[in-house]
Amino acid sequence: MRVGVIDYGVGNLGSVMRALEELRVAPVLIKNIKEMESCNRLILPGVGNFGTCSALLQRGGWVQALRDDVVGNQKPLLGICLGMQLLATTSSESDENESSESEFGLNLIPGRVESLEKIGCNLRVPHVGWNAINCLPVGREIFEKIPNGTDFYFVHSYAFIPENYEHVLATTDYGVQVTAAVRSGNVWGVQFHPEKSAAAGLQLYKNFVHWNP
């Protein structure tokens, strides 16, 4: 099993790679779109500003390549933290130095990304630390052997709001219900950091790696 971790210029790649190595899989750091062909699974990390990351994906040719591989070839993809938000259609978080195109995501799971304050959060932002997830009763493969109410580690100021609530796998309560995990077919996303979430995070990676379409 070769799991490709996409290196488009941002992301906590080292800790993701080490977590995958603990599962005895072969993580591959993908630095260009051609290297995706040799991988069975893809992971899209992300940290920082949506607009900056979106622009980097576009400049590197990743947007169309990911759509071709994930939609056309049905290759499983997992977005992590901002990587999950990049699965959306649009975001209100853009870089003022980038073009308006940086407001657009991969549109693999239709929806928008909004600030926590805008959706009603009255707690301190960013949301940093451990928080329990509430798993919905559908599409739980990625949470297999992970009890409902398990704590995961979050770091974010924006939240993903899918157009179709059926794409929501789990939520977390941070002064308002926040999407914690999403899925559409072979595309998955988690708002938290599995690689920083101890045994539960490793189990989630294991579930993704061994998921059989």
Residue of 71, 67, 111, 61 whose CA lies nearest to 89: 111
Q: Which of these is catalytic: 127, 156, 167, 193?
A: 193
Whether the CA torsion 24, 30, 36, 37 is positive or negative: it is: negative
Residue with structure tokens 């493969």? 141
Please confirm, yes or no, whether 114 is among the known catalytic residues: no
Q: Which of these is catalytic: 39, 81, 121, 135?
A: 81
Please confirm, yes or no, whether 144 is among the known catalytic residues: no
Q: For 57, phi and psi rounded to 5 degrees?
A: -65, -40
97/107 Cα distance (integer angstroms): 22
Please confirm, yes or no, whether 53 is among the known catalytic residues: no
Q: Which of these is catalytic: 93, 103, 114, 195?
A: 195
165/162 Cα distance (integer angstroms): 6
Other C-beta atoms lying within 10 Å of the C-beta of residue 134: 12
Cite the active site residues: 81, 193, 195
